[in-house]
Structures are given as C-alpha cells and as structure tokens.
C-alpha cells in the first residue's frame, strides 16, 4: 500500500516511520526494504538515507517510539503502586496486552525485528525505562515475602514479561488458534499460579 502524500523535509523522518508501520502490517518487520519504505512515503531512496542509514535504523526508530508509548502506558497503569502492590502489578500486565492490541506495528518492531538494542543507544534507553517500571512493580509486590525467601525482583519481572509475551503471540494475535478464554484471563490465571508458587499469594487466592 503506497502512502501518496507530500512531505516537507521537517517531517520526512516521521513520514518514513508511518510508512514503515504500514509495511509492517502488510509484510512484517523483515518483509520490506528501505527502498519500499521510501516508495510508500512517496520520496526518493536518497532522501531516506539523510535520516536512516539502513532498514534496521528505521525499524529501531519505530521500536523506540513504541517503547516510549509502552513505557508511558506501564507507568500510568502502575500508578506508583496504587491502590495496592498487587492491583498495580496486575494493571501492568493488562497494560502490556492493551499496548500489543492497539500498537501491533510498534510491537512487532520492538520484539520481532531482531534488533540489538546495544547497537541503537536511544532505543536501549527507552526500553530500559519500560523494564524499570516492571522491576519496581515486582519489587513492591515481593515485599510481602520474608527477605530470605525473596527472589530477585528483576527475575520475577522477566518471568512475567515472558508470560505476557507468550500470551500475546499465541492468543492475542491468534497464532495459537481459537481459545475459549480472553487473553486477559489467560494472563491473569498464569500470573496467579506463578505468584502462588512464590508464596506471594495464598493457595486459595
């Protein structure tokens, strides 16, 4: 799909990001070339290289913008641990699914483009901001356990992130086939089982 618009130099960079999002929706993050992004934005390939050194640089900017939105949504959902650490923790999980549902192109660029954040410093910074919110949510939740039984908060956050990503890939995006349960219910029950195993939740919760 070609996005036939006229763009001034000042917003060409964002026009290319929007073109990339259109192409990601059609072919996935690895299914198009930088020349095709230029064509979709109705500019010459030479104009693209004034802003991006290659397709990975363009995808990194799409991912950076996605992580910026993602981090803000997580922070809003967490709300400094209010009204309770458990409620805030669960809210971040729902925010994860909400982001994946509303911003699928950004999500794919963030997690499916094969980017290495270490090669894209701006991307690494904003991705770390999102992880920090999840780490803080886990840290607050784990205060319910005695210090000697407390696993590392970053590990707990990583486990929940992995479960959330699996629910998105298999069930929110339909890769696991039709399911009788909404993705939110699957995520909530999986996290509940995990937290009971840690002892954060009592067995009958």
In this structure, which topology does domain 9-48 adopt according to CATH? Arc Repressor Mutant, subunit A (1.10.10)
**Which pLDDT score, from 0 to 100, does residue 7 have?**
46
- What are the C-alpha distances in Å from 69 to residues 15, 51, 110? 18, 22, 11
Q: pLDDT tens track of the chain, all 205 residues?
A: 444 444 444 588 999 999 999 999 999 999 999 999 999 999 888 888 888 989 999 999 999 999 999 999 999 999 999 999 999 999 999 999 999 999 999 999 999 999 988 889 999 999 999 999 999 999 999 999 999 999 999 999 999 999 999 999 988 887 766 778 899 999 999 999 999 999 998 776 5
**Which pLDDT score, from 0 to 100, does residue 5 have?**
45
- What are the C-alpha distances in Å from 94 to residues 90, 109, 199? 7, 20, 22
**Which pLDDT score, from 0 to 100, does residue 130 have?**
95
Domain coordinates in residue numbering, the chain: 9-48, 63-198
Q: Do the domains 9-48 and 63-198 sit in the same CATH topology, yes or no?
A: no
Please tell me the CATH code under which domain 63-198 is placed.
Answer: 1.10.357.10
Determine the Cα–Cα distance for residues 120 and 63; give it in Å rounded to an integer.
10
**Which pLDDT score, from 0 to 100, does residue 117 have?**
80
Q: Which residue has the tokens 């919110």?
A: 133
């Amino acid at each position: 799909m070609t996005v036939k618009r006229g763009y001034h130099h000042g917003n060409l960079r964002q026009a290319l990001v929007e073109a990339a999002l259109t192409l990601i929706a059609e072919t996935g993050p690895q299914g198009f070339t930088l020349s095709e992004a230029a064509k979709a934005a109705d500019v010459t390939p030479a104009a693209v290289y004034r802003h991006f050194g290659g397709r990975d640089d363009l995808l990194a900017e799409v991912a950076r913008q996605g992580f910026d939105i993602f981090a803000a949504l997580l922070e809003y959902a967490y709300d400094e641990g209010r009204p309770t650490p458990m409620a805030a923790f669960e809210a971040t999980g729902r925010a994860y699914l909400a982001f994946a549902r509303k911003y699928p192109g950004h999500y794919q660029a963030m997690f499916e483009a094969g980017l290495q954040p270490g090669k894209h410093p701006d991307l690494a910074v904003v991705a770390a901001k999102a992880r920090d919110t999840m780490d803080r949510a886990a840290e607050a939740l784990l205060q319910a356990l005695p210090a000697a039984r407390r696993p590392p908060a970053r590990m707990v956050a990583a486990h929940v992130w992995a479960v959330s990503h699996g629910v998105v890939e298999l069930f929110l995006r339909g890769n696991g086939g039709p399911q009788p349960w909404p993705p939110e219910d699957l995520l909530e029950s999986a996290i509940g089982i995990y937290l009971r195993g840690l002892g954060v939740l009592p067995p009958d919760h």
